[in-house]
Amino acid sequence: MVQIVPVLQGGGDWRKLCHCADVPFGRAFYSAAFLFVAVVCLILLFLFNPRNIIRQDDKLREAAGLPLDGKLAAKFDEEKKRQ
């Protein structure tokens, strides 16, 4: 069992806090997991881009015969001006 208090007080081996020191390929696993999460985040950012949502909404409304929603585009433009 690793005790955190001696490490925080300046003594002890800080590498024992990381369980990846005990596991072969532990550091590589954590790096790969972080990279996987980063890639998933980027995909979700591009997938739910406000411009794409507005285009998709306009396309679906047009196909359904409904009037286009200008409020969504106006809100996007307003937030873009704020930045």
Burial-class residue 76 by CB neighbours within 10 Å (0-12, 13-18, 19+). middle
The identity of residue 9, as a single letter, is: Q
**Smallest Cα–Cα separation from 40: which of 52, 28, 51, 48?**
48
SS3 (DSSP) at 9:
coil
Q: Considering the entire predicted model, what is its pTM?
A: 0.48
pLDDT 10s digit of each residue in the chain, 83 long? 445 555 555 655 555 556 555 556 667 777 888 999 999 999 999 888 878 888 888 888 889 888 777 777 777 778 888 87
Residue 1: alpha-carbon gap to chain centroid? 33
User: Which residue ranges make up each domain of the chain?
Assistant: 1-47, 49-83
DSSP 25: T
In this structure, what token pair is assigned to residue 75? 């809100």
